[in-house]
Amino acid sequence: MKKLITIMSLAVVGFTFAQEEAPTFNVSGSIDAYFSTSLTGPNDQANLTDDNGWTAPPSSIMGTDQRGFSLGMANITFSYEGEKVGFIADMAFGPRADAQFFDYDVVNEAYMYWNASEKVTLIMGRFNSWMGMENFSAANNFHYSYSHMYTFAPRNFNGIAAQFDLGNDLGFGVGVMNAADTTLNNRSGNYSIGAGISKGDSGISVLSSEDETFVDAKLQFKVTEKFNLGLNAHVASWDDDAALTGNRALAPGNEGFTSISAYPQIKSSESLSWGLRLEHITFKGGDDLSVFTPTLTANYSVGALTIRPELRLDSSSEDIFANRDMDDVTGSMTSFTMAAIYQF
């Protein structure tokens, strides 16, 4: 499954491609399901209430946290890849997918690419964000729940982009897209511009979109054969009168956020790995709300099946979570999730 690391650029229309030799058609994907319960809050209410606070972390399962047993999603990727040109079509179905998309029902990514040379690749279509340490599919993440950064940052783009191989594992990208999270029916006439440079899985990138600006830096370290460490810093800012899109519209009165996260992971055996996500996010403006979210996750693999138990604590500077009886709010919530992910 192809994912963008950085977005890539204004491209060109009207090219004529030479016929390719032996392109290949592939089908891959995953399916995931989970059990979720709140250990400190209610388990019989919707995620957000008007008067009694959050009954689940807003980014636990992309803002649609279902208690008890639930399907996550079925994710199927079709690709037709040749030496010069090809396409990726990534489809997703289920509650997790419904919370990701603000427009299409099932299309996650759908873009065409042209390897214009050994050093330049051009793409056009719909693609996911390249920022942060997390991806859309549960099969491509270590943790099952999402970070707050992933939830509130832009996630989907329609545009045209190019990626340049600079050698020595260095890459540079620049691109022009619709405004962030505006993947359908761009009526405003506004566009976003992004650029980034990467070294392997580490990099720094920026995005300017209408009244919003995003800066993202990520570092990946392989400390030993069994211990990895990821670091991510993300700064988002917007005008106080900005027409916010995506989940950022859930935070009226704020003018952006800063998220700092660490992702230590250790492999204790061939089939078992452990990882922490330590995220601190602060929303700027309003009450300067901050949330610290340590999340402990294990991944136990049985062939293509991964069993993923996860314990998550959200601790807030303000009382924003409903207590178990729904008669008061508190500053923390503890949740437990047991997920199963099959990848093919």
Domain harbouring 316, CATH code = 2.40.160.10
pLDDT at 254: 75
pLDDT at 16: 39
Q: Domain span at residue 219?
A: 24-343
Positive or negative: CA dihedral 14, 171, 80, 76: negative
pLDDT at 159: 93
Query: Within a domain: residue 297?
Result: yes
pLDDT at 212: 87
d(CA 228, CA 264): 6
Q: Under a CB-based contact definition with an 8 Å cutoff, are residues 161 and 175 in contact?
A: yes
Total domains in the chain come to 1
d(CA 78, CA 137): 15
Query: Within a domain: residue 91?
Result: yes
Give the chain's radius of gyration (CA, Å): 20
Query: Within a domain: residue 7?
Result: no
Side-chain half-sphere CA neighbours of 271 within 13 A: 8
pTM: 0.86
Beta carbons within 8 Å of 269's beta carbon, 6+ residues apart: none
Q: Quick one: 169 exposed, middle or buried, by C-beta within 10 A (0-12, 13-18, 19+)? A: exposed
pLDDT at 8: 37
Query: Within a domain: residue 333?
Result: yes
Q: How many CB atoms lie within 10 A of CB 264?
A: 16
d(CA 214, CA 240): 15
Q: Are strands 305-316 and 321-322 parallel, antiparallel or unpaired?
A: unpaired
Query: Within a domain: residue 16?
Result: no
Positive or negative: CA dihedral 114, 116, 117, 119: negative
SS3 138: helix
pLDDT at 170: 94
Query: Within a domain: residue 12?
Result: no
pLDDT at 60: 62
Q: Under a CB-based contact definition with an 8 Å cutoff, are residues 308 and 331 in contact?
A: no
Query: Within a domain: residue 18?
Result: no
> pLDDT tens track of the chain, all 344 residues?
444 333 333 333 333 344 546 778 999 999 999 999 989 888 876 555 555 677 777 766 654 567 889 889 999 999 998 889 999 999 999 888 887 776 667 889 999 999 999 999 999 999 988 899 999 999 999 999 999 999 888 888 899 999 999 999 999 999 999 887 776 777 777 889 999 999 999 999 999 988 889 999 999 999 999 999 999 999 999 877 666 666 676 665 678 899 999 999 999 999 999 999 999 999 887 678 899 999 999 999 999 999 999 999 999 998 888 888 888 888 999 999 999 999 99
d(CA 24, CA 86): 9
pLDDT at 46: 56
168 dihedral zone (left: phi>0; alpha: psi -120 to 50; beta): left
pLDDT at 147: 94
pLDDT at 126: 92
pLDDT at 272: 98
Query: Within a domain: residue 312?
Result: yes
